[in-house]
Amino acid sequence: MPTLEIPAFTPARVAALNSEFQGASAETLLTWAAHAFPPRRLALACSLGLEDMALVEMLTRLPRVPRVFVLDTGRLHPETYDLLQQVRRHYGLDVEVFFPQAAAVEALVRRDGPNGFYEGLDQRRACCAVRKVEPLRRALEGADAWITGLRREQAPTRRDLQPFELDAEHGGILKLNPLLDWTFEQTKAYLRHHRVPVNALHDQGYPSLGCAPCTRPVQPGEDLRAGRWWWEEPEHKECGLHAQPRPQEPLTPGSPR
Ligand code: SF4
């Protein structure tokens, strides 16, 4: 199928897409996106979590596979790196990896220490800004649209998710949330059915994975994201990739708090 001409994205255009695709399956949304955008201009931001592994499986079944990138914060679990290695082999996928800027990490650690994120929300958001938000901005340069594994049931901050969003933070590009209506059980069933490789930590009580120092196993009955930034209130549990963090002062060596 030829690539379609996509009109510039406006709130009205995105609202029309949401109306047209409300209730559509994940595969339908991805198939539409893969036909609508050249493969180099459509990207999956892959955390290597369960949802994103389901999306990798779906995307690699498409005739034109879009970009897949990982943000390597430098603080991931060893098991997550093992999975990245496995994904490259299993799918023959050239996964792009984006690192934080070395100078920004050095300035952050000099100012807040290696684990300053435990000391307050500002420090935590500053770390996420350096290690995740800025690399995401670079990863999305030149993209027309990106794909996420967000699900509505994951967090109070995600209950109003729509299939499409206008991402003003990254130049007014389109953001697709194909799994928005999926449940955790549905996600796991899909992965089992298709024998998708997953992170070994999921069997050790980690339903949701992020950076190693900011993720711990959840107890039976706890919320699925209770192990993420467990010392913070639920409404703060976003790293800035999907919600605007409070503005951060630019980090320069020796900058005061
Ligand atoms: S999740 Fe934790 S270690 Fe990772 S970037 Fe955010 S604050 Fe830093």
Cα of 2 from ligand 1 centre, angstroms: 41
pLDDT in tens, 92-151: 999 999 999 999 999 999 999 999 999 999 999 999 999 999 999 999 999 999 999 999
CA 8, distance to chain mean position in Å, is: 24
Residue 251 has pLDDT above 70, yes or no: no
pLDDT at 240: 67
210 — pLDDT class (breaks 50, 70, 90): very high
Q: What mean pLDDT is predicted for residues 42-57?
A: 97
**C-beta 127 within 6 A of ligand 1:** yes
Ligand 1 site-directed mutation target among 118, 130, 209, 211, most atoms within 8 Å of CB: 211
**C-beta 124 within 6 A of ligand 1:** yes
- The position carrying tokens 């059980």 is 185
**In sequence order, what are the residues at sequence separation of 6 or more whose Cβ sits closer than 8 angstroms to the Cβ of residue 184?**
50, 151, 153, 207, 224
The CATH-assigned architecture of domain 11-236 is 3-Layer(aba) Sandwich (3.40)
* Domain range list for the chain: 11-236
Coil, strand, or helix at residue 82? helix
Q: How far apart are CA 181 and CA 162, in angstroms?
A: 9
How many CA atoms within 13 Å lie on the side-chain side of 126? 28
Residue 252 has pLDDT above 80, yes or no: no
pLDDT at 242: 75
Q: How far apart are CA 58 and CA 193, in angstroms?
A: 12
E-strand stretches of the chain: 42-45, 67-71, 96-98, 145-147, 164-167, 173-176
Q: Is 239 a catalytic residue?
A: yes
Q: Say what the pTM is.
A: 0.89
pLDDT in tens, 155-187: 777 889 999 999 999 999 999 999 999 999 999
- The per-residue pLDDT of the chain, averaged, comes to 89
Which atom of ligand 1 lies closest to the CA of 239? 6
Edge-first strand listing for the sheet containing 145-147: 96-98, 67-71, 42-45, 145-147, 173-176, 164-167
Q: What mean pLDDT is predicted for residues 14-31?
A: 97
Nearest CA to ligand 1 atom 3: 211
Ligand 1 site-directed mutation target among 99, 118, 123, 131, most atoms within 8 Å of CB: 131
**C-beta 128 within 6 A of ligand 1:** yes
